[in-house]
Structure formats: structure tokens, C-alpha cells
Amino acid sequence: MKNAYFITGTDTDVGKTYATLAFMHYVKQQGKTVIGMKPVAAGCTLHDGKLKNDDALSLQKHASIQVDYDLINPYAYLKPVSPHIAGADNPVNVARVGQVFHSLQSLADVVLVEGAGGWYAPINDQQAISDLAHALALPVIIVVAIRLGCINHTCLTYQAIRASGLPCAGWVANCTDPAMLNRDDNITTIARLIDAPLLGILPYQPQADFDELAAQLLLN
């Protein structure tokens, strides 16, 4: 297990936070400390006069070490739209994210950095999530929502990660649709088409049990 990973998704709303929380519990089950970071979050609400994101709050809650919210989520935007639009008045500074990330690395054995949207989701007028991952120079984990279209989306995301020069540490099959037809066939097909290990299959759970989900994962 390396000391940090970047977790991206094949699209928005595929369960990146769900998978990140499962990995955080996995790391804790290995006897290591872990912090989850969500550098950019759009669709935030006011908590005590400060914009905060529900997913980032969950990462803060499940961390081994409690740190200030601003370190978990340095860029929190009000509107639930693409970060480059939501943050037009306060665009993401990748160098600042890097500084915060390195400060978290000094506090925990493992840091998991969750992206926003998909691999090419823009975070400012010039850069995308892919540029943020590249600046942090982290191995990438892909979260795949097993639903119609997932094979194409996974292959495209994997090829884009490889083209960026970053290593793909593997992918996670997140079973978001309990009625998905031929679910296992889709997972088998993806495993055949991309040269990255399947790190686990997260079953559909109406109420998430992250310790149980963590037992479905294996991160070398």
C-alpha cells in the first residue's frame, strides 16, 4: 500500500465518496491511519457561516485523525455545477491544493484524495481534475458505477489516465443499481478490457456499512 492515492470516477455521481470511505475503513483495518481529502467540492451549504460539502464532511468524520475542514476541502463552492463555473470568483489554485495535501501527508499514514466529477471535469479556466491528479503525482483508482454505459466510460477513463502518464492502481466496481441486468458480465468485460487490477466489488447497500464494504477491497 502506497501512502496516497487519487480517486476518480467514470462520471459524476458514481459513488466516489462511497468508495473513498470504504477504502478509508480498509486502511484502518490494516492498522494504519488515514485522512480523506476532497480538494474541490461544488454544491455546498452553510454550516455556522461557512460553506461545507456533505461528502467532505463524511470524509472528515471517518478520518483516523481529526483535522480542520479547510484542510479536507480547501475549495468549497455554493452552486451544484461544474467547479470552473461555481468557482469563477475563486478558482482552484493547484499549487495551493498541493501544499494542503502535503500537510495532510505529514499527519497520517495514508491520504486518499477524491476528485470532483470525472477525469476531465474542469476546475478552472485552464485545468481539469486530471491536471490536479498529475500535479499531485499520485496513482489513480477508478470508481465505476456498474450501470448501462459503464464499459465505454471505464475504457475511456482508463485510456485517459494512461495517456497522462500516471499509473492506474486499479478500479472498483460500485454496484449502484440493484436491478442492473447482467451485472457480473459487465464487470467481467471491464476486467478483460483494461489492464488494471479489480480492487473490489462494492455490493448495493441501502444503508452503507463501511466496515463490511471495506472487507470487499484489496489494495496492494
- Active-site residues, by number, are 38
Phi, psi of 191 (to 5 degrees): -60, -30
CB burial class (10 A; 0-12, 13-18, 19+) of residue 206? Answer: exposed
Alpha-carbon span 59 to 76, nearest angstrom = 14
Instruction: Determine how many CB atoms are found less than 10 A away from the CB of residue 113.
Output: 25
Alpha-carbon span 185 to 213, nearest angstrom = 21
